[in-house]
Amino acid sequence: MKVVVGQGSCGIATGAKKTAAEFERLIAEKNLDVKVDVTGCVGTCYLEPIVDIYDDNGEMTRYVKVKPEKVEAIVESHLVNHNKYEEQAITAEDEQFVAKQQRVVLRNCGVINPENIEEYIEVGGYKAIEKVLTSMTADEVIEEIKISGLRGRGGAGFPTWFKWDAAKNNKGKEKYLVCNADEGDPGAFMDRSVLEGDPHSLIEGMIIAGYAMGAGEGIIYCRAEYPLAIKRLEIAMAQAREKGYLGKNIFGSGFDFEMRIKAGAGAFVCGEETALIASLEGERGMPRLKPPFPAAKGYWQQPTNINNVETLANVPWIIYNGGAAFGAMGTQQSKGTKVFALAGKIKKGGLVEVPMGLTLRDVIFGIGGGIKNDKKFKAVQMGGPSGGCIPAELIDTPVTYEDINKTGAIVGSGGMIVMDEDTCMVDMARYFLNFTRDESCGKCNYCRIGTKRMLEILERITRGEGKDGDIELLEELAMKIKDGSLCGLGQTAPNPVLTTIKYFRNEYEDHIYNKKCTAKSCKALIRFDITDKCIGCTLCSKKCPVGAITGAVKGQHAIDQEKCIRCGRCLETCKFGAIEKN
């Protein structure tokens, strides 16, 4: 019998280490022959901490939201008396979160111990690289990737085989393969989950890619904010070396491949490949003009290929199962599966992997369970700060590179931030533009100064100081920034503004001309009033942090609008529905 506690970053944040320690303590105290093991995130982040108990016959029972105080009951019921503890057992509805998915990249996440190479080998690990090195040429590997239709999962959706082939055909003293693990989009955590839950799939994918393009060294550029991911990668790399899967003469083929990790400082612009290369070389992370492309002159001016974590984690599965099997999933132009991070106002936040071509409705409502508190779905931001807002009326848009691009958003790395009726779209655009303004490297005038000017306008509008012509000025600046910026950060930074103007222009107009926030969200444009439903319980006045509420006991209270800071504490406190937000 084995107890497996999910210990990805999401699980640890909710107390999984304390839960695991309590299991270990009670198992030792009761002298039970049960092992406590670790795994990564299975994707159902909203149910953490998650505990899987495997009986001797291999049957698995999943328990969710297992806080340390719940452990004793599970131990007594399941481990001692061999009865399922129903109170913490996962429901049939929540089981569907994973059951409705089709997993390739996430196939081992939440299943194996990421710090034990033997478990990866047991599920077919390193069979793909063995197949490659013992029976395939570099051209045959690239052809298999071409057949699969795998496109870059980092945002651009560029055909993976083409990048590999370009690097292969360029001559250089050395060739390098770089994995972009600098995942920086707000609300995106796909790559982190793979690094923490299944690091060997990335390592194996990189070895295969290195063989295909003729590279002898692989570099994983991972942001330093991912300490657990870096730790597990280091463990996995050491184990792979010990087994002979990494290093000299892999599988006796004569092919040598070594890997190392570079911890990045967390600059969003280093997601752009030439800025990433500059950072690797010890320079400030700033993009350069292309061509030449990295495939010709990249790291140290040598042929270099850059793919992100998800792209490379697909590779072992594709090689082992055949490119046609991957290509059979998804659509004709957008093949295979895609991992999405569901965040925001959604009931079931976490990671989902589905075939390309499913609609936004399938993902948000079919798997994600819909909107928190059953509020009205308003929009979803796709592609992070470089993406755009897709409104409710387009919820049946298929999730493909082509269809999402038509909306003005992008698939990007796979972040989906779901918004409900209480979200102000002008403020949402302000939030994302503030992010890209902060993350601009400053090299291009249009990006450095233009995003600042746009942000100033948005801040004025959300304060109720917008004026006639602001919308048109935002559109003009947006197009100039897109046209005048060197890299993808500047070229896409205006997207959240442009898409919110396109689909929610009425909200901009409400802010500017009516001095009103449509969603009743912007503090400067809302007020709280006490109605005649007030019974004078005085609870709201006691909770007000600035003493803005006055009134006699059992008498109607009032709010001093000059003192009120619009914190909403009174609305949350009132039990009689006597406070209105206007």
Query: Closest Cα to residue 167, out of 190, 145, 135, 194?
Result: 145
Q: What class has domain 117-327?
A: alpha beta
Longest CA–CA separation in the chain, Å: 88
pLDDT band, residue 154 (cuts 50/70/90): confident
DSSP-assigned letters across all residues of 66-120: --HHHHHHHIIIIIIT----GGGBPPHHHHHHHHT---STTTTTTTS-TT-HHHH
Top-tier CATH class for 2-92: alpha beta
Confidence (pLDDT) at 185: 84
Helix, strand, or coil here: 390? strand
* CATH class in words for 527-581: alpha beta
Q: What is the pLDDT of residues 97-148, one digit of tens each?
A: 999 999 999 999 999 999 999 999 999 999 999 999 999 999 999 999 999 9
In the chain, which segments carry CATH 3.10.20.600? 337-420
- In CATH, what is the architecture of 337-420? Roll (3.10)
The whole-chain average pLDDT of the chain stands at: 95
For CATH 3.30.70.20, list the domain ranges present in the chain.
527-581
pLDDT in tens, 266-296: 889 998 999 999 999 999 999 999 999 999 9
Mean pLDDT of 516-524: 93
Cβ-count burial of 145 within 10 angstroms (0-12 exposed, 13-18 middle, 19+ buried)? buried
Q: Could you give the count of Cα atoms lying within 13 Å of 209 in the half-sphere of its Cβ?
A: 36
* 8 Å CB contact between 181 and 225: no
What is the average per-residue pLDDT within 520-526? 93
CATH number of the domain at 425-513, please?
1.20.1440.230
Number of H helices, E strands in the chain: 24, 17
Count of Cβ atoms closer than 10 Å to residue 428 Cβ: 23
Q: What is the rounded distance in angstroms from the CA atom of residue 444 to the CA atom of residue 286?
A: 10
Write out the residue limits of the CATH 1.20.1440.230 domain(s) in the chain: 425-513
Q: Are 118 and 125 in contact (CB under 8 A)?
A: no
Please report the sign of the dihedral spanned by the C-alpha atoms of residue 229, residue 230, residue 234, residue 240: positive
Rounded to whole angstroms, how far apart are CA atoms 452 and 444?
12
Above 90 in pLDDT, residue 539? yes
